[in-house]
Structure 1
Amino acid sequence: MNRQETISSWQLATLFLAFMTGSAIINIPAPLTGMAKNGAWVSLLLANGIGMLLLGCILYLHRRYPDMTFMDFSRKVLGKWLSVVIGVPFLIYLMLMTTWIVIDIGGFFKSTMLKETPSYMIHSLILLTASLTVRSGIEVMARMFTLLLYSMFFFGIWVVLLASPNYRVEYLLPVFPDGIKPVLHGLYYTFGFPYAEVVIFASLLPFVRKEKNDRLTAYMFAALIISGIALSTAVVCSILAMGPLAGELKYSLFQIARLISVGDIVERIESVIGMSLIAGSYMKATIALYVLNLGLSQLLKLKDDRLLVFPLALISFLHSLIMFKNEAEFAEKVTDVWPLLNAVLSVFPILLITLITFIKSIFAKKSPN
């Protein structure tokens, strides 16, 4: 995890796409459809617009402070002590993100493919793999996640196409059966997961190597748009295939895969898509753990920035065992509490820093010096 490591703009955009799509594509369709009904895709489009605004903020800060992470430029803009007041809750937020992703992976396995396997076995294996990946560095992550991302999209596209005989277009209407309020509720949910989480990439932008034809901005916005299209497609296809049940059945793409039957040749392919979706969640957990370790190492000014990887993974593992009493409590926190935590602990600080930086730049231009 050496700051001398560099990746290309394209590789960072790949990491960004993996992070934004990873666990969201499996978790968003069912609860979002339950909230917003047929207008779920509208909620996603609106949330994608908010994500673009936040992405624009972190790219602006990157141009102003090209070699600084979130912890670095918050210290420069806000001062030492105020940056600690903002930075420590931000690190707690990253710890919660890592833990909740792992809990979600365990819940998926327990509900679908490994019903008799204890959750702690799944949690420990995911965190151990994520820790080893983080210690390998961001260059290794970028190369490996490119392959995993392509495979995830490949199998996801095939599931969507093969399930097309089960689609019924009439399920998409009416778009707003209960008015605009459910769509706004869905917007609140998708704002917190995953679009407000864009902010953590402010800590990864400094790793992009300087290139003559820098297309970082274009690649990052393209990745966000592709993520929005992928999530919207998953939501629309779940409605087309399951109709009113789309908001009731968890893990929509997995459920759609169960419907596929092409003669006697292509059947029971849900395990393949299931493993692809788990790979997406693993990539997101790894990126969250990487940024958490990086931020804490910078806050404590450690010389060895790999020192805390395994301790942080162990803390996350222990939290995953005791944080929630049951699956219903976890689902409630994700849908109701997580968007609020995102707004307070990540979105508000980045907007504040962006505003102060912008005001300072205006006064600097007006200054005669």
Structure 2
Amino acid sequence: MPANPFDRRCEIRGLRADRLRRCRHAYVRSQAGPPRFEPGQGQGDVRRAPAAGRLPHVDRERMAAQLLLLRYGHSRIRPGGRLLVRIFQLERVNCLKNAITPTQAAILLFVFLTGSSIINIPAPLIATSGTGSWICLLAAGAAGLLLLIPLVSLARRYPETSYVQYVSKLLGKPLAFAILFVFLLYQIHMVAAIVMDIAMFLKSSMMRATYYTVFIVFTFLASACTVRIGLGKFVGMFGLLMLSVMIFIVFITILSSVRYDWHFLLPVAEDGIKPLLHGTYFVFGFPFGEVVLFTMILPFVHLRPSDRIGRKLALAVLLNMASLIMVTLATILTFGPLAGERKYSMFEVSRTIEMTELFQRIEALMGYSMIVASFMKASIVLFISNATLNGLLGLPVDNRQLIFPLTLLCAVISITVGMRGEANWNFIVSGIHPLWGILGSVLPFLVVYLVSLFRRGRKVRAGSP
């Protein structure tokens, strides 16, 4: 049994000592300064080490070396030292476990935006904006598309660097800590809210005699176990699950079309522009403003100059906008003036479908879609909050030791909110959450982007002849 903990971790992961020695000698031969790894040095041993997958690019060693320097600093890593070699091997295994492609990032963004918004958006939006709800969705979606410009720009300017790291670099640690602490609280509130919404839906629509706590505990347990397996693993699973969810939603929308009354779409903006502005504010705060949270996901995406990740993310936002417009119009066309009072709108729409005796309980498909979509979004936000907490504490961004304590905190918050009643919950979703999202994530993110532009412009002027 090795006494050194790094030796033991390497032994557990199947990394043989002779491979580590060969890697070490290759790094010693590189240079005496801060370690820089060239694509041809030590790759033979690293490629034979067991890993969860392969990164889709050549400079795998250089990426891992940059991550090591950012996390541990130059003082703790000696060129060619044993600690460097072992940490390098372990970090590469973790990077492979969490690495995703730009296409997977776009799928994850669509799952993230569509998740709980299909449940919560139509009813309060229709109650606020009436038949002009689709206009609010178009305006808020356009604002969400504009947010992708600074998002992708910062990701390319600071490759493989998380939001926590470049905020600290641009604004300084004291101000960055205050901004990121509010950012973390917003994420914790979001996770607790999503799971609480699953519990309220199950209790009010299916299992009225069951306590909220049962649904909350089991949902959080499933989300925590999902996050622990790594980002690269559950992204593929979420893509298939989201495909089934969208198929069921389109299927229910088509079946309910026989009851549509197209006169319910008129008049548009009967009460003026103020309800439309209110609805746009609500929909921008939830879900389009939540795009900012993907600043913690993009460091796990390998970005090449030829990758069109901006277009792929924009396509994900457009598909989300189209799906929300579809379910909102289906609710208006089915219920008319009463659409704003129908909570869990698509579930209520599915209950109006009457077919032959061959098809019974069609609403079960919508129930499945709502639960699965919300579960996927809760898992994504839990992963983001864990990465943010690790960054605040100075731990590696893919550290998994804090997942279960963080999950316990979110579960306690969800149970506490459930005890205050459904009316208080509706106020939180429609009033507090959009405001918190705009003030706690969107505005600080835009400030960071403006500071980065100012810094770059100042460097360009200083370097000009």
Q: TM-score range by the shorter chain?
A: over 0.9
Aligned residues: 369
Match of 1:307 among 393, 401, 426: 401
1:311-350 correspondence runs (5 A): 311-323=405-417, 325-350=420-445
Counterpart CA distance in 1 for 2:347 and 2:161 is 40
Decide which structure has the larger Cα Rg and report it: 2
Matched residue, 2:94? 2
Q: Residue in 2 aligned with 1:222?
A: 315
SS at match of 1:267: coil
Maintained 8 Å contact 1:135/1:306? yes
Contact 1:260–1:267 (Cα < 8 Å) also in 2: no
TM-score (norm 2): 0.77
Query: Displacement, 1:267?
Result: 3.1
For 2:226 and 2:203, how far apart are their aligned partners in 1?
Answer: 24
Deviations 1:83-115 (A, max 9, x none): 111111111111101001111111111111121
In the TM superposition, residue 301 of structure 1 has moved relative to its aligned partner by: 1.9
Stretch deviating more after TM superposition (204-213 or 3-12)? 204-213
Q: Please give the alpha-carbon distance, in whole angstroms, between the structure 2 residues aligned to 1:160 and 1:55.
A: 30
Give 2:111's aligned residue: 18
Q: CA deviation at 1:213?
A: 3.5
Task: Please give the per-residue CA displacement for 1:213-264, whole angstroms capped at 9, x wherever unaligned.
Answer: 4121111000000000000111011001111111001011101111112222
Q: Which residue of 1 aligns with 2:330?
A: 237
Bigger mean CA deviation after superposition, 164-173 or 353-362? 353-362
Please state if 1:53 is matched with 2:53.
Answer: no
Shift of 1:291: 0.5
What is the deviation of 1:64? 1.0
Q: Deviations over 1:278-302 (max 9, x none)?
A: 1110111111100100111121123
Measure the CA separation in 2 of the matches of 1:320 and 1:3: 32
| Match of residue 452 from structure 2 | 357
- The DSSP-based 3-state class of the residue aligned with 1:367 is helix
Task: Point out where structure 1 has 5 or more consecutive residues left out of the alignment.
Answer: none
Structure 2: segments with no counterpart, 5+ residues: 1-92
Alignment pair present for 1:32 and 2:131: no
- How many Å separate the matches in 2 of 1:57 and 1:117? 45
Q: SS at 2:99's partner residue?
A: coil
In the other structure, the counterpart of 1:118 is 211
Query: What code does the residue aligned with 1:2 have?
Result: N
Structure 1 residue 366 corresponds to structure 2 residue 461: yes
Tell me the equivalent position of 2:264. 171
Instruction: Answer with 28-37 or 300-309: which moved more.
Output: 300-309
Partner of 2:228: 135
Taking CA–CA contacts closer than 8 Å with sequence separation of 6 or more, which of the two structures ends up with the larger relative contact order? 1
CA distance in 1, matches of 2:379, 2:279: 27
Distance 2:151 2:308 in 1: 15
Match of 1:258 among 351, 354, 366: 351
Which residue of the partner structure matches residue 67 of structure 1?
A: 160
Give a deviation string over 1:135-181, Cα, whole Å, max 9, x none.
00001121110011101100000000011101010000011121111
1:292-325 residue CA offsets vs partner (Å, 9 max, x unmatched) = 0011112112357100100111111111111351
CA contact (8 A) 2:160 2:301 kept: no
> How much is the aligned-residue C-alpha RMSD, in angstroms?
1.4
Shift of 1:368: 2.8
Aligned partners of 1:113 and 1:271 also within 8 Å = no
Distance 2:234 2:134 in 1: 31
Deviation at 1:211, TM superposition (A): 4.5
Instruction: Pick closer, same or farther for the CA change 1:3–1:78 going to 2, 3 Å.
Output: farther
Residue 95 of structure 1 pairs with residue 188 of structure 2: yes
Deviation of 1:367 (Å): 2.2
| Bigger mean CA deviation after superposition, 109-118 or 148-157 | 109-118
Using the alignment, how far apart are the partners of 1:203 and 1:299 within structure 2? 12
Runs of 4+ in 1 over 4 A off after TM superposition: none
Identity %: 38
The two structures have a TM-score, normalised by structure 1, of 0.97
Query: Which runs of structure 2 are paired with 1:155-170 in the superposition (5 Å)?
Result: 155-170=248-263
